[in-house]
Each structure stands twice: as C-alpha cells, then as structure tokens.
Structure 1
Amino acid sequence: MSGNNGNKLMQRISYACGTFGHDIFYMMVSTYFIMFITSNLFNTEDQSHNEYMIGIIMTVILVIRVAELFIDPFIGNTIDKTNTRWGRFKPWVIVGGFVAALSLAILFTDLGGLTTSNPLLYLIIFAILYLVMDIFYSAKDVAIWSMVPAMSFDSKEREITATFARIGSVFGAQLVTVMVIPIVLFFSKDANGGVGDANGWLAFALIGGGVSLLGAVILGLGTKEQASALRENKKETTFKEVFSILGKNDQLMWIAITFLIFCFGQDLVNSFQMYYFAYILGDSTYLSFLGIINVIIGLLAVALFPVLTTKFKRRNLFFYSVVIMIIALIIYAFAGTNSVLVLIAAGLFNLPQPLVFLVVLMTITDTVEYGQLKIGHRDESLILSIRPLVNKLSGAVTSAIVGFTAVWVGMSGKATADSITDSNKMMFELIMFAVPIVFMLIATLLYKTKVTLTEEKHAEIVKELERTWKDISK
C-alpha cells in the first residue's frame, strides 16, 4: 500500500514539473512577448512606422488565435484517437514542447534584421512561425490537462492531482514574474528605461523555453494513465461530429463562456502590470518583488484548495474569489505611485486566481462524464481542449488591447515614466482597472445562473456510468 502511495506521489510531482515548465511558457507568450514587441522589436527613429508595425503584429496574433477556435477541438479529437506504447498524451506533451520552445525562441528575434530590411517578409515569416508555435503549444496544453480525468474518476482525487499540477504551474508562472527583469537586464547591453534590449529578451526566451521542455520530459517519464473500462469507447468521435459534440454538452459551454469573460478581465490586469510598474510606478524592478509575493500566496492558495472546496464548495469559492479580486482592483486604482500599496493590491488580486482556475478546471473535467452519460461516448481531450482554447482566445484579445493601448497612451519604444502625460496615465488606468471589473461581474452572473454541475451531481453521474456504461456504449 505504501509503495502505491509512493508511486502516486512521484506521479503527482512529475506532473507538477510538467505544469511548472508549461506555465513558464504560457507567461512568456501571453504576457512578456507583447512587452518585447512594443519595447524592442520595432525601434527605428520613425515612431509612426514602429507603431504601424506593432499594430500589424497585434492583428496577426489576434487573427491566428481566433482561427484556433476552429483548430483546437480537432487537436483534442486527434489526441483522443492517439494510441502509442507511451500512452495517449505524453508524445504530444514532449513533441509539442520541443517545437513550441524552438519557434518561440526565434520569434524573440528580429529574424536577422528583417524588421527593417524587409518588413513584409518579416510579417509573413512571423505569421508562419507564430502559427506553428501556437498549434504545437496547443497540442501540449490539451494533452497535459487531459491527463486529469485519465488519472482518476473520483472528484476528490482529481482535486488533489490538479492541486499538485496547479502548485507547479503557479510556481512556474510567478517565477517568470520574479526573474524576467533580472534576466533581461543581466543579458542586455542597454537597460532601455528598465525594459532591456533584444539580447536580454532572447536570453529570457532561451532560458524559459529550455525549462519548459525539461518539465515536459520529466512529466513524460514519471506519469501513467489509469486503465479503466469507462475510458474505453466503442465508437470514436469523427471530425464531422466535433462541434456538435461540444454543443450538446451544455454545462461545458456555459462554464467555458463564463471563464472566457472572466479571463478577459483577469488577463487585462496581468498583462498591463509590467507597463504599470515601468510607466506609472516608474520602477520595473518592483515587478520582481511582486513575483516573490505571488509565489508565496499563490502556492498557499493552491495548497488549500482541497480544504477550501470541502468547506465552501466550488461555487461559493468562485464567488468569494471574484469579490477579493474586485476589492484588490479598487485598491490598485487608488494606489498611484505608492509602491507598498501597489504591491499589496497586486498581490491581493493574484491570490484567488489559481483558485478560480482550479474551480473551472474541475468543472470542465467533470463535464467529461456529464457528456459521456448524455451523449454516449467519452471525449477527454476534445472536452479538455476548451479550457486552453479559452485561455488563448482571451490572451489574444487582451494582448491586442494591451498592444494598441500601449501605443495609444505613449508606452512604447523609448518611452519613460516621465514622458507619459497625466491624461494618458488616467486613460491607461481606466482600461486596466474599470474594464476588468465589468467583465468579472458579468462572468459571476453567468456562473450563478447557468453553471449547475456540482461535485454531488458529478458523483451521481459516475455511479450511473458504472452501472450502465457497457450498455450505453454498445
């Protein structure tokens, strides 16, 4: 028995190593890649040309991410049909991790000066590279999180596994926040107002991508799927059925829409924070202090997740988390250049984020069995592809908003905190704080009225499947 517990522990740790590296990569793409583009990629003397090129890049990213709305479900469907001696998911994690890391490292360059010597060719190559990176990152993302329902059917056991995974991902994401400025500035020849130069950003991409790939390898070596009759499909979902299957799973659709709107608000604030520290607070090095704070409180929040869900249930935990985040944004909005108050507000805003993620992840995971009973066949990766799809769509939309806003209020190129006018600072803060509050309130209303799949209902569904699955799946 102790040996079995030891194997479970090692599997959870290996899984956490994979999500640790995976969220390092996610933060690089969703948050700091945009900072590199607006501060370093286009740095000619012609500011109007720089702003034009930044606008084109933001549009390209947005178009690719929106197009992935139609690609990701097919990626999930393909993973569901995978059958290798290494399992269904691990090949996608490792191969996807390698290709995505290599592509992103190249994207953190000007492709040998093409941004100035041949901008049109640069844009074409950029679009191809970004699409390749995004597709393989998607495959890795879907495969990693699809392993949760493949490891256990019990909601509590899933929560423990997901807690380990989220501890790894929180640590990885916040470690990026701690290390990004020190790494970039250490390898930069020009501090460039605290945002570094191209050399520093390339070093950051290589280090982050390498760690991400290492985590994928550890996950591949240390995890194992659970064999169960409930995971055996008598019929597979065809490409033609993909969207109809998703549409029939009403609880999946409602939690996905809720999470998307919530992420619009959350991601806007997270993506704007580096700009706030550099151009409002006037000292980007404080971002590392925030990263340390977020590591501590994030790990604490995630570690307490199983206890909190037992005491409050997932629904209430979601509501309480949103209340805390809105209070944090109100404090943040009035903090101004008070660095202590800024750090308190930013830390408080980050505190519930991993809890909301886990509530949503567990609900989406439980819709696997909900759909299995309702539709008659099991689609683990197809259903779990919706969560990363939501994150990426939100990341694309918010990145575009952040990029255009940065240009609009003068926070691009060689700008400094002193060069930003008071009116532009006010407009920036309005977009950073007021707009996210509106999104979060809308998401809360949807969650309260439309999402009805609870832990108790899921347990009933699993019992019914255990009793009838052989007959249903014939």
Structure 2
Amino acid sequence: MNLFKQYASYAFGAFGHDAFYATLSTYFPIFVTSVLFTGHANSAQMIGAVSAMLVVIRLVEIAFDPMIGGVVDNTRTRWGKFKPWLLGGGLVSSITLMIIFTSIGGLADHNDMLYLIIFGIVFVILDIFYSFKDISLWSMLPALSVDSKTRTKFGTVARFGSTLGAQGVIIVVMPLVYFFSQKFSGTTGQTQTRAGWLGFAAVIAIVSFLGALTAAFGTKEQKNLIRENTEKTRLRDVFKAIGENDQLMWLALSYFLFAFGYVITNSLLLYYFRYVIGKPAAYSMVGVITAILGIISVVLFPFMVSLIKRRGVYVGGIALMVVGYLIFLLAGTNVTMVLVGVAFYFFPYPMIFLAALMTITDSVEYGQWKNGTRNESVTLAVRPLIDKLAGAFANGVVMLAALQSGMTGNAKPSDISASGLLQFKMFIFYIPIILIILAAIVYFGKIKLSEKRHAEIVEDLEKKLEAEKAAGQKIGD
C-alpha cells in the first residue's frame, strides 16, 4: 500500500480521535458545570456527584486497559487485529458521546438518582469502547514499521492530525455551541443551551467515527520476522509484560505527571477567559494560535530529534512550558499577554507527546529483547491508560476548582471573590508547574532507551531470530 496514503489515513484517524478526546476530557466538564444543572435546586451536589463518578469510573476502568490491550493482541481476523476494534469502538463511543451531552430524557431535571445511574452505565460503555479504539489506533504504530525513522514519520503525521483535531475543537467549540443554541433553542448572542452543546457533540462524534473508518481502511500492518515472534497473551502475562519493562514503567510515571499538569491547565483555560477575563469569545483565538503552532511544532519534531535527541526535546520542551506559565502569572486579565503565555506553554507540547510516544513504541522491542515476548497492544495501552488516568484526576480537579472558585452557571467575573481567584490560580498554574517539573526530572534521570540503544536492540533481535529460524530449519532437514 502507498506510504503517502497510509500516512494521510493514519493522520486523519488521529485527527478525529483527538477531537473526541478533547471534547470528552475538556468540554464535557464545562457542559456539566455551565449548562446541564443551571437552575437545578441541588446543582452543586449534582456537579459534585457527576465529578466523583467520572473519577471513580475511570480509575476502575483503567485497570482493564492492559487487558483490553491483551484482547487486541490476541485478535486474529482477515482484517488484522486492529481494524475491527477501531470500527466497533469508534461507532459505540461516538453514539454514547452524544448521549452524555444531554439531560438523558429530562432525568437530570426530574430524577437525580435515576439520571446518575443511567449516566454511569452509559459512561462506562463509552469508556470501554473508547479504550478499544484508542489502544487499537496507537498500538498500530509498531505494527506499521519496526524502523525508528519510519515510525517517527508515522508518529509525526499522526501527531500532526491529532494536534489539528484537538486544537481545532478549541476554535469551533463556542461558535458551534452558539450556532446550535440559536438553531434549536431560538437564542441570540452568546447564550448557551443544552441543545447547542448536543449539536457540538454530534459534529465531533461524526468526525471521530469517520477518522476511525479512514484509519482502518487506509493503513496496512507490516509482516516481518520480529512481528511474527509473538505468542498468545494470557491474562497473567498482561501485567507482567508491563511490570518487567523498566523503561516503560519510568516513562509511564514521567508522562503521567506531565499529562496531569497539562490537562488541568488546558481544561481550565476556558474558565479563565469566561470567569476571569470576561471574554469567552476570545477563547477561540487560543485554538487558532495552538493549531498554527502545533503544525509548526510537529513539523519541527524530526529535525529537533536529530539535533538534540528525544531526551533534549522532552526536558527542553518542559522548560519552555514553565516560561509560558510565568507569563500567565504576569498576564492578569490582559488578553494579549495571556495568548503569548498560551504560545510558549503550548508550542512544545506536541513534541513532548511525540518524544513520549516514540519511547513507548520503542519499548515494545525493548520488552521483547529483555523478556523474550512481543506485546504491541499491551505495551502501547500504557499511553492511553495514562492519558485517561490523568484525565480522570484532571476532571475531578477542574470541577473542584469551578465549585471552590464560584465559577459555575451564569456567574460573572465581578462575582468571583479574591480568595476564589487565588484558589483558581493555584489549580490552573501552581499545581501544574510542580507536576511538569517533576516529569522532566524523572525522564532525565531514568530513561535510558535512546534512539541509538533501540537500533542496537532491533539489530540484536534480528540476528537472534534469524539464527533460531536457521537452527529450526536444520533440525527439520
């Protein structure tokens, strides 16, 4: 299959996938705190209940992600092991995304307990099928090539697509919400309604499923001696494969700290523009800036890796993000300075993500070399597991920050007290700064799986497997 077609298909799959993730992790909490329970007699309690459920469900469900990776690894069909889960997961998660952006037949207004029960069931289904799609999409990476340079190209174009998807949502979210609010609820101006948010969610759901279709039918798994050296993954081997891969475990810790801090700030930015600055419409500029910078960042990634290697990209990128946070702290309500802070804060993010993703991908061969078995989906399941874990905690932090700071419903900037603003800054700035600095320290001190070391491991594996194959043929003769 033509490589350009595969690159484009994989990129569009990542585009729809990250648009979905941004909607779920960043904008669903905003829908809950700003619109869903507006006018509800027990709005604070219901927001708190939904927040707690999101955290608990995701914490419980992520324990199953490595097992989902094992199921994908054990899948054998004429279409390969990834495509059936991409399509099935994409369809079900898209449908359930639209459901959670509703009051579930009015239950959110009239029957709190029944709403919470049905919401919990729907969200569990969403999370499970999203996990199958997420793990299938990203664990395709080591199956598309065992060569680090080719993987970097696939990873780069995928991150190009995912960056446009995630940052594109920032650009369209409020215009779409306003448009559908006016279309279906007859509102004017910048009034938000449930119907407006549902219309936005429906657009994202459709884009996400079309991305899954494109990735499924536009890519091809590579067949070679290293990939053929696989065995059926037993349940007891799933966590063993992860736990015995020390480089994967250290990367997991570092990336969790980084992702947790990043998602908190990213999720609270709309609150900053709405409740601190008082200009929610200006938030769309964040999407424009980050989309442009994201493209530049992704394009520069191969060059930066060749220049300073993955370690330099990861640690140096975090240093640049800290500069962005310092600008945030000095900006106050100055929109221009806030946007400058956004630029410094976001620009290195796609490169840091790619550095982490490439390290995880290379740890597939590292684990195979160290432990004698190859586990593609189980290993790559760690990255979405961490993203969901970080997202679960971040969702809880975001809703807590909104409640503690008084940034719920139709509150205005003038309604936010000095203490509320101070608490909000602690959540959006101070805690994330500490988290990402710790992430840099862990990566710098513990990750030894460099590009050079991975190439040596692949060469060693090929020689070993070719020798074993030759010895088997001699015995057969």
Question: What TM-score range do you get, normalising by the shorter chain?
Answer: over 0.9
Q: What does residue range 272-421 of structure 1 map to in structure 2 within 5 Å?
A: 272-421=268-417
2:238 corresponds in structure 1 to 242
- Deviations 1:11-43 (CA, angstroms, capped at 9, x unpaired): 100110100000000000010000000011112
Q: Give me the TM-score of the superposition, normalised by structure 1.
A: 0.96
1:460 corresponds in structure 2 to 456
Q: Is the 8 A contact 2:141 2:154 kept in 1?
A: yes
Q: Is the 8 A contact 2:241 2:379 kept in 1?
A: no
1:130 corresponds in structure 2 to 123
Equivalents in 2 of 1:401, 1:191: separation in Å?
A: 31
2:465 corresponds in structure 1 to 469
- Deviations 1:174-206 (CA, angstroms, capped at 9, x unpaired): 110000000001111487995711011000000
Equivalents in 1 of 2:113, 2:301: separation in Å?
A: 49
Give the % identical residues. 44
Unaligned runs of 5+ in 2: 473-477
1:33 corresponds in structure 2 to 28
- Per-residue deviation, 1:68: 2.1
Q: Give me the TM-score of the superposition, normalised by structure 2.
A: 0.95
- Deviations 1:249-270 (CA, angstroms, capped at 9, x unpaired): 0100000011001111111110
Equivalents in 2 of 1:96, 1:69: separation in Å?
A: 16
Equivalents in 2 of 1:469, 1:282: separation in Å?
A: 63
Q: Are 1:184 and 2:184 counterparts?
A: no
Equivalents in 2 of 1:132, 1:51: separation in Å?
A: 26
1:155 corresponds in structure 2 to 148
C-alpha change, 1:237 and 1:116, in structure 2 (3 Å) is same
- Deviations 1:103-162 (CA, angstroms, capped at 9, x unpaired): 010000001110121111111111110010011111101000111100111111110111
1:334 aligns to what SS in structure 2?
Answer: helix
2:331 aligns to what SS in structure 1?
Answer: coil
- Per-residue deviation, 1:434: 0.8
Q: Which amino acid aligns with 2:326?
A: I
Q: Which amino acid aligns with 1:59?
A: A
Equivalents in 2 of 1:113, 1:103: separation in Å?
A: 16
2:140 aligns to what SS in structure 1?
Answer: helix
Name which of 68, 80, 88 aligns with 1:87.
80
Equivalents in 2 of 1:262, 1:14: separation in Å?
A: 28
Q: Are 1:69 and 2:62 counterparts?
A: yes
- Per-residue deviation, 1:225: 0.6
C-alpha change, 1:65 and 1:193, in structure 2 (3 Å) is farther
Q: Is the 8 A contact 1:194 1:278 kept in 2?
A: no
- Per-residue deviation, 1:416: 1.7
Q: What does residue range 16-27 of structure 1 map to in structure 2 within 5 Å?
A: 16-27=11-22
2:6 corresponds in structure 1 to 11
Q: What does residue range 110-259 of structure 1 map to in structure 2 within 5 Å?
A: 110-188=103-181, 189=185, 194=190, 196-233=192-229, 235-259=231-255
Equivalents in 2 of 1:344, 1:235: separation in Å?
A: 51
C-alpha change, 1:244 and 1:472, in structure 2 (3 Å) is farther
C-alpha change, 1:248 and 1:193, in structure 2 (3 Å) is farther
C-alpha change, 1:234 and 1:15, in structure 2 (3 Å) is closer
- Per-residue deviation, 1:422: 2.3
Equivalents in 2 of 1:174, 1:115: separation in Å?
A: 30
Equivalents in 2 of 1:195, 1:275: separation in Å?
A: 16
C-alpha change, 1:45 and 1:134, in structure 2 (3 Å) is closer
Equivalents in 2 of 1:241, 1:192: separation in Å?
A: 57
Number of residues of Structure 1 aligned to a counterpart in Structure 2: 467
C-alpha change, 1:391 and 1:185, in structure 2 (3 Å) is same
Q: Which amino acid aligns with 2:4?
A: L
2:475 corresponds in structure 1 to none
- Per-residue deviation, 1:423: 2.2
Equivalents in 2 of 1:349, 1:15: separation in Å?
A: 27
Equivalents in 2 of 1:250, 1:359: separation in Å?
A: 17
Q: Is the 8 A contact 2:401 2:423 kept in 1?
A: no
C-alpha change, 1:417 and 1:472, in structure 2 (3 Å) is farther
1:441 aligns to what SS in structure 2?
Answer: helix
Q: Which amino acid aligns with 1:158?
A: R
Q: Which amino acid aligns with 1:436?
A: P
Equivalents in 2 of 1:275, 1:191: separation in Å?
A: 22
Q: Is the 8 A contact 1:138 1:388 kept in 2?
A: yes
Aligned-residue CA RMSD in angstroms?
A: 1.5
Q: Which amino acid aligns with 2:164?
A: F
Q: Is the 8 A contact 1:190 1:197 kept in 2?
A: no
C-alpha change, 1:27 and 1:89, in structure 2 (3 Å) is same
C-alpha change, 1:67 and 1:193, in structure 2 (3 Å) is farther
Equivalents in 1 of 2:219, 2:444: separation in Å?
A: 36
- Deviations 1:66-103 (CA, angstroms, capped at 9, x unpaired): 11231000000000011111111111111101100100
Equivalents in 2 of 1:194, 1:423: separation in Å?
A: 28
- Deviations 1:219-269 (CA, angstroms, capped at 9, x unpaired): 112111101121113532201221112100010000001100111111111
Q: Which has the higher mean CA deviation after the structures are superposed, 384-393 or 333-342?
A: 333-342
Q: Which has the higher mean CA deviation after the structures are superposed, 60-69 or 189-198?
A: 189-198
C-alpha change, 1:112 and 1:370, in structure 2 (3 Å) is same
Q: Which amino acid aligns with 1:65?
A: R
User: Displaced runs of 4+ in structure 1, greater than 6 A?
Assistant: 190-193, 471-474
Equivalents in 2 of 1:116, 1:389: separation in Å?
A: 33
